């Protein structure tokens, strides 16, 4: 059975992905000894916290139509499917190579790319009337993460 998802469904998952990302960065920060690296990772975790709040706010501003269920789903299986997919593919319990900041940042960039791929795929599953264009905002936020991480990676190479 093919589901159409609403923007509300995707924003719920976006919030979870941000929680997963914050946990990833806090775990990495706990594994490094360098104070500057720890500080940067904790700042990235705080950014994930901020993005979770941003997505929560965006979700609260959705129109009723963008929150509508598209199929009879009394067990909420569609969202459970999305949550399982997101939790197993993006940031969730990833092995973090803490041998260097370069390795940590590369892992983070990989996870951010996975999140963008997830959102691009989900964008196709959200009908325009249910808020497809709102997902562009989520994708732009995630692209911003990659830009920031890429700058940090370049700075480490100098």
| Domain ranges (residues) in the chain | 7-157
- Confidence label for 66 from pLDDT (cuts 50, 70 and 90): low
- Confidence label for 136 from pLDDT (cuts 50, 70 and 90): confident
Helix, strand, coil shares, percent, the chain, to 5: 75, 0, 25
| Topology of the domain comprising 7-157 | Ferritin (1.20.1260)
CA 31, distance to chain mean position in Å, is 22
pTM, 2 dp: 0.76
């Amino acid at each position: 059975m093919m589901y159409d998802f609403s923007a509300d469904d995707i924003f719920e998952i976006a919030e979870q992905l941000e929680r997963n990302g914050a946990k990833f960065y806090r775990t990495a920060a706990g594994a490094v000894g360098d104070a500057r690296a720890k500080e940067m990772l904790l700042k990235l975790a705080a950014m994930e916290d901020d993005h979770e709040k941003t997505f929560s706010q965006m979700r609260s501003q959705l129109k009723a139509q963008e929150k509508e269920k598209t199929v009879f789903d009394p067990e909420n299986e569609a969202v459970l499917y999305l949550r399982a997919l997101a939790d197993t593919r993006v940031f969730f319990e990833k092995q973090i190579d803490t041998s260097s900041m370069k390795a940590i940042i590369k892992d983070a960039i990989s996870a951010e790319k996975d999140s963008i791929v997830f959102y691009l795929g989900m964008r196709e599953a959200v009908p325009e009337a249910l808020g497809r264009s709102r997902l562009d905002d989520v994708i732009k936020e995630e692209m911003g993460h990659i830009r920031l991480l890429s700058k940090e990676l370049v700075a480490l190479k100098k």
